[in-house]
Structure 1
Amino acid sequence: MRKQDRLRLGDLEAEIMGYVWRSRRTTVREVWEQIYEKRKIAYTTVMTVMNRLTQKDILSREKIGVTYYYTPVVTKTQVIHAYIDDLVAKFGQGAASPLVKRLLSEGVAGADKEKILEIINKM
């Protein structure tokens, strides 16, 4: 499996990873409790997805006592870069300017928008 394919996340995978990135080290139960507040899914569903993310080397798992603790192997930035690389691969070099235009006009605000403009101005 290509690295970019491995880093392409489904909706539930992305939601789980968002929590793991914020927590840095977590359990299936902790993730499930957060997700269950928004959508009523089974604990075993979260466990299965986290096990698959471990198999894809996106998460690592360590057993301490009877509990498995999960930590991220890849950063959020690496996943975002993979999506951008995939976008450029699919649509060619011309994909970058509509992406930046969309981000600046509707996609981001505040500190993120300022950071993008700062990066552009430094180029």
Structure 2
Amino acid sequence: MYQEISDAEWEVMRIVWTLQEAYTSDILAALKDKKSWSQSTIKTLIRRLITKGLLSSKKDGRKFIYSPLVTETQMINQSSEKLLAKMCDMHKGGAILKLLQDYPISKSDLIKIEKEVQSKLKTAPDAVACNCIDKKMC
């Protein structure tokens, strides 16, 4: 399991994931129009990501080049699992359905989802039990 990252750290990671390797100047340029962060703020975010073991850095002359140590998919999966773990089991299906309705999904991903749904239907319970501390809240 990886460290949790802030929204600002996600912004930096998305740039590095996209570029695969990025110099500080690449990250600064990509964030220049999007955020009003100072150079020192961005360097702090990069340092935090290195400390958390999510970015590697190597010296390239007088510059540093950064590479991801985890994939975007790994971080998305971890974040999704942490979010769903906080929810009542009875409401997870509704949350997943809402995501399906609200976000663009490719045909190939929809086919994979459909296959998974068909597989889960074979053993799915009629209802999912509440796992809240106070069952009256559901």
Q: What TM-score comes out, normalization by structure 2 length?
A: 0.76
Query: Which whole-Å CA distance do the structure 2 matches of 1:91 and 1:104 have between them?
Result: 18
> RMSD in angstroms over aligned alpha carbons?
1.6
Deviates more, 1:82-91 or 1:23-32: 82-91
Query: Which whole-Å CA distance do the structure 1 matches of 2:105 and 2:110 have between them?
Result: 11
Q: Say whether 1:118 aligns with 2:114.
A: no
User: Which residue in 2 is equivalent to 1:70?
Assistant: 66
Of 91, 94, 101, the residue aligned with 2:97 is: 101
Q: Say whether 1:35 aligns with 2:56.
A: no
SS at match of 1:91: coil
1:91: Cα distance to partner? 1.5
Which letter maps to 2:110? L
Larger Rg computed on CA atoms: 2
Which letter maps to 1:79? M
Taking structure 1 as reference, are residues 83 and 110 closer, same or farther at Cα in structure 2, changes over 3 Å only? closer
1:121: Cα distance to partner? 2.0
Of 4, 13, 18, the residue aligned with 1:17 is: 13
1:87 and 1:95 in contact (8 A); partners too: no
SS at match of 2:22: coil
Unaligned ranges ≥5, structure 2? 117-138
Identity of aligned residues (%): 27
| Per-residue Cα deviation, 1:33-61 (whole angstroms, up to 9, x for no partner) | 11011222111111111011001000000
SS at match of 1:45: helix
Unaligned ranges ≥5, structure 1? none
SS at match of 1:30: helix
1:62: Cα distance to partner? 0.6
1:99: Cα distance to partner? 2.8
User: Which residue in 1 is equivalent to 2:86?
Assistant: 90
1:64: Cα distance to partner? 1.6
Question: Structure 1 or 2: larger helix share?
Answer: 1
User: Which residue in 2 is equivalent to 1:48?
Assistant: 44
Runs of 4+ aligned residues of structure 1 deviating over 6 Å after TM superposition are none
Q: Say whether 1:60 aligns with 2:56.
A: yes
